Chain A
């Protein structure tokens, strides 16, 4: 049953990658900007709830609601003040290098504020579904892990369905494909940009609250989480949330299997070697190349 337990562990880690990959790729699809701060929103979610609940003594539902509202307002304000100036002004900032810094700076900013507010220790939001690990034969699944997996599948699936089967979802894609063309069709590209930015920030925060009992967060955890999300998002070409979800789960499982069967010590090395080899041998299939732009 080693395989089964490794599979479960891999799925849980993979869902963490998957959720952030989905958030990164959906917003990239709208704005062509990589959101490097997505993990920091998760960290704020987890540590914010912990702080309000454990330190300030707020009831848990109120703590969660307050944290999410603060995250939403902050994300909205950031879009209004920074992104609006940068993207909607007479001289639009473009190119991955320039736009990179909008969210990179945001990530550092959030880290700094979080350090002041929450300190430097490892904390986590209280478990939402506490109790013994679920056991079936000799398979073990932590309840938090199940929540994390369910969250990932719901979030990734919802975005995938939205983009594939609704006109609004196609309009979202059009914003990132060609902003001028989108405006011609009457699509409000600014509205999509801020809506998805706020939505992914809140989703990341919720996910941070759900997931933090498993890993525990410090004020610096955000950047690490963003990076793992990036890796999986890259396998979806930063454009396909559905594919990013699958890629995240796959990388998680692969990581667990290598850790269990090959080498725990060199697990990461082997993992990244395999991932790099996949990119080199099958770039188009993995979304690293598009049929259009080559």
Chain B
């Protein structure tokens, strides 16, 4: 985690309001710490269904830790509800089965497995049958979204370029058939042209009806896509006072 050395993140505010739409994700009083280091302190926000929500803020302020806590990759304090159902703490599989899938920072692929195998493992959250996974709509959609991956599908994921690996990671996320796709720093270390391509794909995923949460250090880029924003900032007063909003 890049946030390890961070101080507590103080203020979190939601800018766009959900309106009448259904709440996809509700986070209340979320705190994440690594040992003695508090990475996220008392974050509260909601994401409405169909939103594209950007989580922005400087590096080391706990943006990624929010996603890690929400998806259950790390233990958290506070409540998380996915489509109204309380998510058990630390159970990534449950979150994935109920519609929330993480595309993590630094992609976390399986380097020696082929790109196809990487993507198809996204289906593991809902099936154990490789035949069902191959024939599924979500797997087909994940593959079709990235025509540039076609010639490389049999290649070991570790030998792909950074941009291609990011696409494999997004495709793996889509294969789990998510209702909410949480993408962590999708453009980290990518060339500008590739970053634009990644954002185009995210935009089309959003248009097809998937709720998006994008963690992004550069708010400008994020706001080309997103209609809602959660700002994470290491506030001077907010950090020290418990429950600062």
Q: Could you tell me if B130 and A166 are in contact, using CB atoms closer than 8 angstroms?
A: yes
The winner among B107, B108, B127 for most chain A CB atoms within 10 A is: B108
Q: Does A184 contact B (CB under 8 A)?
A: yes
Q: Could you tell me if B124 and A181 are in contact, using CB atoms closer than 8 angstroms?
A: no
Q: Could you tell me if A185 and B104 are in contact, using CB atoms closer than 8 angstroms?
A: no
A180 CA to B124 CA, complexed, in Å? 15
Q: Contact residue range for chain B?
A: 20 to 34
Q: Does B122 contact A (CB under 8 A)?
A: yes
Asked whether A181 and B109 contact (CB < 8 A) given A186-B96, A291-B159, the answer is: yes
Q: Flag B152-180 by CB within 8 Å of A: 1 or 0 each.
A: 00001011000000000000100010000
Q: Does A94 contact B (CB under 8 A)?
A: no
Q: Does B102 contact A (CB under 8 A)?
A: yes
Q: Does A171 contact B (CB under 8 A)?
A: yes
A171 CA to B120 CA, complexed, in Å? 10
**B-side contacts of A291, CB under 8 Å:** 156, 158-159
**A-side contacts of B102, CB under 8 Å:** 184
**B-side contacts of A173, CB under 8 Å:** 110, 112-113, 117
Within the complex, the shortest CB–CB distance from B61 to chain A, in Å, comes to 21
| Candidates A90, A177, A293; contact of B110 at CB < 8 Å | A177
Q: Could you tell me if A167 and B73 are in contact, using CB atoms closer than 8 angstroms?
A: no
Q: Does A283 contact B (CB under 8 A)?
A: no
Within the complex, the shortest CB–CB distance from B238 to chain A, in Å, comes to 28
Within the complex, the shortest CB–CB distance from B96 to chain A, in Å, comes to 4
Q: Does A198 contact B (CB under 8 A)?
A: no
A182 CA to B96 CA, complexed, in Å? 12
Asked whether A293 and B104 contact (CB < 8 A) given A185-B124, A188-B93, the answer is: no
| Candidates A167, A184, A187, A239; contact of B130 at CB < 8 Å | A167
**Chain A residues in the interface with B (C-beta under 8 A):** 90, 165-168, 170-171, 173-174, 177-178, 180-188, 239, 290-293
> Ordered nearest first, which 7 A-B pairs have the shortest CB separation?
A292-B158, A177-B110, A186-B93, A181-B108, A186-B125, A167-B130, A186-B96
The 28 listed contacts between A and B (C-beta, < 8 Å) are A167-B120, A167-B124, A167-B127, A168-B128, A170-B113, A170-B121, A170-B130, A173-B117, A174-B121, A177-B111, A177-B113, A180-B73, A180-B104, A181-B104, A181-B107, A183-B73, A184-B92, A185-B96, A185-B172, A186-B93, A186-B125, A187-B124, A188-B93, A291-B159, A292-B111, A292-B112, A292-B158, A292-B159
